[in-house]
Each structure stands twice: as C-alpha cells, then as structure tokens.
C-alpha cells in the first residue's frame, strides 16, 4: 500500500506542474481563453504559419501531398524527415509486415512530453485514469493538467490510400506550425500518427495484406504481425480517440454518428463523444464549407473486431471510422481526410478536461457494473429502428474456462493470453469451487462444482465491457442489418468449455501471470500438400487461401505447393498426397479445369488422393461427382453465426476435438448425406437440447440433422468436405482442428467409412451444376407483402438477382461478380437506408 501511495504522490506532483505553453498560443489567444474554445482560435480558419524547420513534402518527395498517393517507402521517408527536423515529433517502428515492411509511427506533442520522462508521465497518468480505484482527487488533478492520447491511423485497407497522405499532412503541421490552431492541439494532447497500417496492401493496391487478411477484421484475434504490433502499442499509449481513415464508393464522406446496430457493451460516454463532440464538430465544418457528407447509415459499431469498435470497447475511446468517397479526385480525398483529422484533433484538445474526466468515470462505471453483474442493454440510436432482440435480464459476475481437458490446453491458454494482452486479469482456481448457477455455453444453468485449475475471469474490472465482448454466449444482435458477422465468442471459436455465473463468489484463486506466446509446432507427419486456388481474381478465394496459407506457414509448419486449375489441367498433381481446396467460385474453376483437368482430379482421388474441400471447394467436388453428398442453397438467413455441432467419436477427424464443436456458418450450402456412416460432423436436430445458436439466425432449423462435415471413400482415395469455412479469418481454432486432422490424420477404418463410392456420381454432379454462380453476394430478405417494393428498389439500383420464396419470406441473392466489399460497391451501402425509407421492415440485410 505504501508503494502505491508513493507512486500516486509522484504523479500528482508531476501533474500539478504547469506545462510550458508555446509562445504562439499566448500570443494568438485572448487572455484566459481555454485552448480550442469557441472564439479562442479557429481550428480551420486560422492561416497556417510555419516555422520553416521541417521541409515541405515537395522538398522531400517532389510532390505536394494530395497530388497522387505516396508509396509506403515515401510515407516512411517523410515521417522520418519530420521526426528528424522537429523537436515536437519522435518516430519509431511498431511492427514489420508479413513481407517485412516497417510500420512506422510518429508521436507529436510538446517537447517536454517527448522526453523519456515526459512520455512515462503521460503513460502513468493514463494508467491512473483507467484504474477505477484511483482516488477521485488524484483523477481530478490529472484531468485538470494531463493530456489525452489521440491516435490517427490510415490505410488498413491497402487500396484506400488517402488517409495516409492526410495523416502525413497533419504530422507536418503538428511538427512545424507556429499558429494558435496547432498550438491548441500540441498544448492539450499527445498525438500518435500511424500513416499506414497495411504497407504490403498499399504497395500491391489490394484491400487485404500479403496473406489475404482484411486487417480491419483481425483486431481481437491479432493473428497478423501488423495488428499485433499496433495493439501492443495501443496498450502502451491507450487512446481516448482513435481515427481509422478509409475510403468507400461514391464521392461523399461518412463520419459518425454510426448506423444501427451498436454492440450493447459499447460505453455510453464514448458514444456521446463520438456523436456530440466529434460528429457534431465535423458536421458543422462540412456544412460551413459546403462539403457533402452523411452519417447514421451503412457503417455500424457492432462487430468487435474493427478499428473503431475495439478502441471503443477495450480502451473506452472514441473509435471512429471515417470514409471518403473513392470516386472523388485525389486532391479532394486528401483535403477532406485532412479536414476530418484536424477538426477531430482540435475538438479533442478543446474538450480535454471533460474527456479525461469522463474517461476515468467510464473506468469506474465499468468496474461497478461488473461488480453488480449488470450487462448493458441493447439500444437503438436511429429511430424508427427498433430493438429486435433484448439482452437477457441475467446477472453475470464471473466467466469460467475449463482447463481439465488436456486436448484443449493450448486453446484455453490462447484465450487467456488474448485477454491478458488487453489488460484483463485472469485467475486460476486453487481449489474446487461450487457454483450455484453455473451456465455452460449453450446449456441451462445448474449447480456445478468446477475443478481446481479452472480459469476464472471476474467482471469486476475496468475491462468489463471487453470481457463481455470476448466471452459472451451470444452477441444479442439488436437489429437485422449486417455489415459483418454476428458471433465471435472466443471460447466458442476455440471450442473451449466454459460458462458464466451471476453469483457473488469468493473463490480460492491466484492471478495467472502473463502467459508467453505459444511456439508453433507441426501437428503431425507432413504429407505432400497441394493447395488449389479456385481463382486468382476472386476476393473470396484470395481470403480463404490466404487464411489457409497463414495456418500452414506460421502455425502448423506444413509445406505446401500452390496450384491453379490450369496447373491441374497441365498434369501438375503428381506427388501431391493431400489436396486442399478452399473457398472460391466453383463454377469458374470447373470451367477452367476443362475436360482434362476434371478427369485428372477424378482419377487422382480415385487412385488414393485425399481431397479436402470447403465451401466452393465442396461445390467443386460435387460438380466432379467426388461425393454422394447433395448440396442445396440455404433458405434461411444466417449472416455469420456459430452453431453447436456434434462430432462423431472414434473417427479420424475427432482427435483433440471432443463430442461437440462450434461451426461458423454464413449462408453456406446445405449438405445432405444419406449414409450416416459418412457424416463426421452433424448439426443436431433443431428441437434437441444440443441445438444452440450464437448470433443472428432466421429459419436456421433447416440445418437440423444435416451434415457439417462429410468423410467418405472415393475409390482408394478419400473426400473430406466441409459445408462452411473451418478456418474463418484464421481464428475459428475449434474447427481448424478438424481441418488439421483431415490433413495429417489417418484414413477412417473400413467399418466406419460407409459404402465406397467407386466412381463419379452423375446425379450429385448434375444437381451441383444447377447451383447459382454468385461471388460475395448481397442478400436481402423481406416478407412477401414487401416483395414488390423491394424488387422496385433493386431494379432502380441496376441489380441482378435470383429470388427464392419460403413461406412468408422472399430471399433476394444479388450478384456481385467483382467481389466488391460494401465500401466499394456502387449501391450496396445505400440499400439498407433505401429499404427503410421505402417503409420496408426487412427480415435481414447482409452486405459483403
């Protein structure tokens, strides 16, 4: 206790010391006017005055920023130039990309804050404000004199470049301007600038990184080195504001307020900052300058894996996505990206004391909510939307992860380490603990005795919101619009047993020390592996192949050879023992294989090859007649959800999996296999106690009793087919174990394998050939009474679609042949608002 009091006294003394304000601030502001206050200094109307210490971009790069996009190397060069020439900027490297490029950052602030002692002081004060046990008097002193940490980050999507150039412009101005607008920011904040989060994608001009990952979906899994380095630094310098600068289709600009749905554990004070400080400031400035913008549409704040949701939920920051229309001329993109970044910094600086005061209050509120076991309710922020599904009125004070299954030890440790690296304290039971209301995931609560060694995570922590986001049983989607997936619970993704309790418990437990990173190890004897990419152009294929390459290279250490349909047609399957066929356009690949390639794949499998496919790879196997499994289009609406599935015991795929697993499912083909012996993993009957769904679903009972994975003999070879993606974003570790077993495990015994398929099944192939060809489709489902109005909207947008009717529901599957994400699709982003304006209450709207 004495040590803690001493530390507080040191910081308190430092906090009381008045900062050395810039002379320009005093000269430009009226006496006694607060920095950034209205009338004190116009952030955008003030004429920039440069000291001349930092060379202009033209002097260093030969161009003015905004003439064209700078390269990753040019971005690094200018950032380092500013840091070398300005006493207000220092630089560093927080990670290296998959291809070895540096992720350069800069920290801008008053010179006294950039010393080793100054930075330590800022971090210590941030830590105290984030600590709910910090005395209120000390928190008040820090809020009076301390500085918030503000982040600007660009280019997480490599083909959205303008945020990088704007961030460099902001950095130059912070490093060299001598006017009051710059001084207001520098006097009242520490600014961290990360111009490009994805240098490999920037150089390749692709949305994804070198491994095919959309890194704006990787924030909680931290699978990529770029994400890992960024989050490690965010924990060192926790933000109160995080700008994630993007581009989209059209020529307008999006900034918050966000669209519904918003995740229920998003702190209310942070939403207030986002809407009322930053959103309001930018709206006022854009209106003043006559610049087109929109908000409360397209971009939600729900999935807990984005560059806006994670800073908000995990750091209690104002995490914000900014989207500039990519159809605009590049100078306009640069200017508007710069404008939103500068206005946001100025708004934060002008509200410094309020923000720091509320930041500490958020920490206190989170702790008190966790102590009481209270979950935040679902809310609607954009009427006339309505809450579709409330958060259950059940106390949750504790989460538990079982550690008594040795086969799942690594997966449990992975979850614990992910929690620890985000500031969550995890304990381990020293003695057995009887929990009166233990609720296992997807099961009814019951009195249960948990063994010693079980991990316990108390909700009475500053990270209460993040704990709920990561360990939830369900995300409780409040509104049926889906920009991304609706389920992401770490225990379900890892297939680790656990559950929750609302009881006030006093267990005998000890804090788990920080766990080291797991060393990658080969899971078994490596066969000769081929990976068949169904298309070089398809976004779905690029991602699925990339996720697989990441696992094979970095985690499983299994060598492989990448093949195309043309390679197969040219006879290059020789030597391959296991062929992995990820997602992609099956019809396109079937055509490109030609008669020779199709015959070669059939013959290779029949003569002893092991074909392992999923999604498009499964459809290709059916088109080739390599399976007796029949495929059909789903009639349900399941946009990205976790289902409990039953694993056949004793089979080669079951090793280290257990009796059940959790399958990620997103509008995947329904697999019906008439021979139960060939079903390795199945969806339980929809009316059985085993049936449980985490995330949004409508009509998913059609999956009940169908196959999730089939495993059958084809001649002397074998076909293993997954309906869904077993390695989604490389974080569905539970079903990835099924996949690795399919790669390195033995063949099933003759007794367990079922009837051998001697040759291609013409019936299955014919049925599969009739499946629609769609790439990354847009999906809209409405009630039959709204069908005519929906069709009118789709026609007006120029959409091409297929239509299915089931009962009172009509499903529209809208083709997206270029595989464009909603950010860059010409009309997908406007569909939800147009549907709402037309008075249609959709069953579901799912965007790519």
Respond yes or no on whether the N-terminal peptide bond of residue 337 is cis (omega within 30° of 0): no
pLDDT-wise least confident of 388-397, 431-440, 588-597, 819-828: 819-828
* Residue 155 falls in which region: left (phi positive, over 0), alpha (psi -120 to 50) or beta: left
CA–CA separation, 765 and 783 (whole Å): 33
How far, rounded to the nearest angstrom, does the alpha carbon of residue 66 sit from its chain's CA centroid?
29
The full set of domains in the chain, from first to last, is 2-16+66-367 (3.40.630.10), 398-511 (no CATH), 529-630+671-677+708-769 (3.40.50), 778-846 (3.30.70.240)
User: What is the tens place of the pLDDT at every residue in 96-116?
Assistant: 999 999 999 999 999 999 999
Band of pLDDT at residue 12, cut at 50, 70 and 90:
very low
Task: Please state, in angstroms and as integers, the Cα–Cα distance from residue 706 to each residue in 101, 421, 661, 685, 739, following that order.
Answer: 46, 39, 15, 8, 19
pLDDT at 604 over 60: yes
CA–CA separation, 587 and 569 (whole Å): 15
User: What is the tens place of the pLDDT at every residue in 629-655?
Assistant: 999 999 999 999 999 999 999 899 999
CA–CA separation, 46 and 49 (whole Å): 9
pLDDT at 670 over 80: yes
pLDDT-wise least confident of 44-48, 535-539, 588-592: 535-539
User: What is the tens place of the pLDDT at every residue in 200-219?
Assistant: 999 999 999 999 999 999 99
| Structure confidence at residue 751 (pLDDT) | 64
pLDDT-wise least confident of 23-27, 412-416, 453-457, 477-481: 23-27
Overall average pLDDT of the 528-550 stretch: 96
Q: What share of the chain is helix, strand, coil (3-state, %, to 5)?
A: 40, 20, 45
Handedness of CA 718, 724, 729, 735 (dihedral sign): negative
What's the longest Cα–Cα distance across the chain?
90
* pTM, entire model: 0.93
Alpha-carbon dihedral angle through residues 40, 44, 49, 54, given to the nearest 10 degrees: 120
| Structure confidence at residue 784 (pLDDT) | 83
Closest to 497 (Cα-Cα) out of 555, 432, 439, 436: 439
| Structure confidence at residue 795 (pLDDT) | 84
User: What is the tens place of the pLDDT at every residue in 441-480?
Assistant: 999 999 999 999 999 999 999 999 999 999 999 999 998 8
CA–CA separation, 695 and 476 (whole Å): 7
First-to-last alpha carbon distance for the chain, in angstroms, is 53
Beta strands in 68-125 (DSSP E): 89-96, 102-108
Closest to 138 (Cα-Cα) out of 147, 127, 128: 128
Classify burial at 380, counting beta carbons within 10 Å of its beta carbon; exposed 0-12, middle 13-18, buried 19 or more: middle
566, two tokens:
């043309």
In DSSP notation, 352-409 reads HHHHHHHHHHHHHHHHHHHHHTPPPPP--SSTT---SSPPP-----EEEE----GGGH
pLDDT at 4 over 60: no
CA–CA separation, 802 and 814 (whole Å): 7
pLDDT at 730 over 50: yes
Handedness of CA 37, 40, 44, 50 (dihedral sign): negative
The helix/strand/coil state of 726 is: coil
Phi, psi of 844 (to 5 degrees): -165, 145
Percent of the chain with pLDDT over 90: 81
pLDDT-wise least confident of 73-87, 566-580, 812-826: 812-826
User: What is the tens place of the pLDDT at every residue in 148-163?
Assistant: 999 999 999 999 999 9
Residues in contact with 492: Cβ distance below 8 Å, sequence separation at least 6, in sequence order:
441, 642, 662, 694, 734
- The 10 Å Cβ neighbour count of residue 516 is 8
| Structure confidence at residue 752 (pLDDT) | 66
CA–CA separation, 790 and 780 (whole Å): 9
With beta carbons less than 8 A apart as the criterion, state whether 463 and 366 touch: yes
Overall average pLDDT of the 225-242 stretch: 98
- The 10 Å Cβ neighbour count of residue 287 is 10
Average pLDDT taken over every residue of the chain: 92
- The 10 Å Cβ neighbour count of residue 776 is 21
| Structure confidence at residue 27 (pLDDT) | 35
18, two tokens:
């008045």
pLDDT at 356 over 60: yes
In DSSP notation, 669-683 reads PEEE-S-GGGEEEEP
Number of residues that this document lists for the chain:
848
| Structure confidence at residue 14 (pLDDT) | 36
């Amino acid at each position: 206790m004495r040590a803690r009091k001493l530390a507080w006294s040191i910081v308190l003394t430092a906090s009381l010391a008045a900062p050395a304000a810039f002379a320009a601030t005093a000269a430009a502001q009226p006496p006694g006017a607060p920095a950034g206050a209205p009338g004190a200094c116009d952030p955008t109307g003030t004429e920039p005055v440069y000291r001349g210490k930092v060379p202009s971009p033209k002097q260093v790069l030969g161009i003015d920023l905004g003439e064209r996009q700078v390269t990753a190397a040019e971005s690094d060069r200018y950032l380092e130039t500013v840091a070398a020439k300005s006493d207000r900027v220092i630089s560093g490297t927080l990670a290296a990309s998959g291809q070895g490029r540096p992720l350069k950052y800069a920290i801008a602030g008053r010179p006294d804050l950039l010393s080793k002692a100054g930075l330590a002081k800022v971090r210590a004060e941030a830590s105290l404000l984030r600590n709910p046990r910090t005395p209120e008097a000390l928190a008040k002193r820090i809020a009076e004199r301390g500085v918030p940490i503000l982040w600007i980050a660009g280019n997480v999507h490599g083909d959205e470049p303008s945020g990088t150039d704007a961030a460099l412009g902001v950095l130059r101005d912070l490093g060299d301007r001598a006017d009051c607008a710059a001084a207001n920011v520098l006097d009242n904040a520490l600014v961290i600038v990360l111009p490009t989060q994805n240098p490999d994608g920037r150089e390749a001009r692709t949305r994804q990184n070198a491994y095919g990952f959309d890194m704006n979906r990787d924030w909680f899994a931290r699978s990529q080195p770029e994400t890992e380095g960024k989050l490690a630094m965010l924990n060192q310098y926790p933000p109160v504001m995080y700008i994630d600068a993007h581009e989209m289709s059209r020529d307008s600009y999006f900034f918050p307020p966000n669209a519904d749905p918003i995740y229920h554990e998003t702190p209310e004070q942070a939403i207030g900052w986002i809407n009322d400080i930053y959103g309001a400031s930018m709206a006022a400035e854009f209106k003043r300058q006559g610049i087109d913008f929109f908000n409360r549409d397209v971009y939600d704040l729900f999935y807990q894996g984005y560059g806006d949701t994670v800073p908000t939920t995990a750091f209690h920051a104002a995490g914000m996505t900014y989207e500039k229309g990519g159809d605009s001329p590049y100078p306009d993109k640069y200017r508007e990206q710069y404008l939103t970044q500068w206005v946001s910094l100025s708004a934060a600086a002008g509200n410094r004391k309020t923000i720091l005061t509320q930041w500490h209050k958020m920490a206190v509120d989170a702790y008190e909510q966790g102590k009481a076991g209270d979950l935040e309710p679902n809310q609607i922020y954009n009427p006339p939307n309505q809450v579709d599904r409330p958060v259950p009125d059940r106390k949750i004070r504790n989460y538990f992860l079982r550690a008594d299954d040795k086969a799942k030890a690594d997966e449990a440790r992975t979850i614990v380490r992910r929690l620890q690296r985000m500031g969550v304290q995890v304990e381990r039971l020293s003695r057995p603990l009887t929990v009166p209301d233990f609720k296992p995931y997807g099961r009814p609560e019951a009195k249960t005795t948990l063994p010693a060694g079980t991990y316990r995570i108390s909700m009475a922590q500053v990270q209460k919101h993040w704990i709920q986001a990561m360990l939830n049983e369900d995300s409780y989607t409040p509104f049926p619009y889906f920009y991304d997936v609706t389920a992401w619970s770490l225990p379900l993704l890892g297939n680790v047993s656990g559950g929750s309790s609302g009881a006030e418990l006093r267990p005998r437990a000890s804090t788990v020390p920080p766990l080291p990173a797991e060393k990658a190890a080969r899971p078994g004897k490596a066969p000769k592996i081929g990976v068949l990419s169904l298309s070089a152009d398809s976004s779905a294929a690029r991602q699925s192949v990339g996720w697989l390459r990441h696992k094979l290279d970095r985690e499983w250490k299994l060598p492989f050879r990448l093949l195309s349909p043309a390679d197969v047609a040219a006879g290059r399957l020789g030597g391959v023992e296991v062929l992995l066929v990820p997602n992609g356009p099956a019809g396109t690949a079937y055509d490109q294989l030609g008669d020779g390639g199709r015959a070669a794949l059939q013959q290779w499998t029949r003569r002893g090859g092991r074909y392992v496919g999923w999604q498009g790879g499964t459809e290709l196997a059916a088109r080739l007649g390599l399976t007796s499994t029949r495929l059909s289009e789903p009639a349900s609406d399941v946009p990205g959800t976790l289902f409990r599935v039953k694993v056949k015991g004793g089979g080669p795929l079951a090793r280290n999996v257990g009796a059940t697993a959790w399958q990620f499912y997103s509008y995947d083909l329904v697999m019906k296999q008439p021979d139960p012996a060939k079903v390795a993993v199945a969806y339980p009957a929809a009316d059985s106690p085993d049936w449980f769904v985490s995330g949004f679903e409508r009509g998913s009972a059609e999956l009940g009793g169908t196959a999730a994975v089939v495993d059958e003999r084809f001649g002397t070879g074998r076909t293993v087919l997954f309906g869904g993606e077993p390695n989604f974003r490389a974080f569905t570790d539970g079903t990835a174990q099924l996949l690795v077993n399919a790669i390195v495990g033995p063949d099933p015994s003759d007794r367990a394998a079922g009837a051998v398929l001697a040759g291609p099944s013409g019936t299955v192939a014919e049925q599969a050939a009739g499946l629609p060809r769609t790439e990354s489709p847009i999906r809209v489902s409405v009630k039959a009474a709204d069908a005519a109005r929906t069709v009118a909207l789709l026609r007006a947008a120029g959409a091409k679609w297929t239509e299915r009717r089931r009962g009172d529901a009509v499903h529209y599957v809208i083709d997206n042949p270029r595989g464009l994400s909603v950010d860059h699709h010409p009309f997908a982003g406007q569909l939800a608002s147009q549907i709402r304006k037309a008075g249609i209450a959709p069953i579901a709207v799912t965007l790519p």
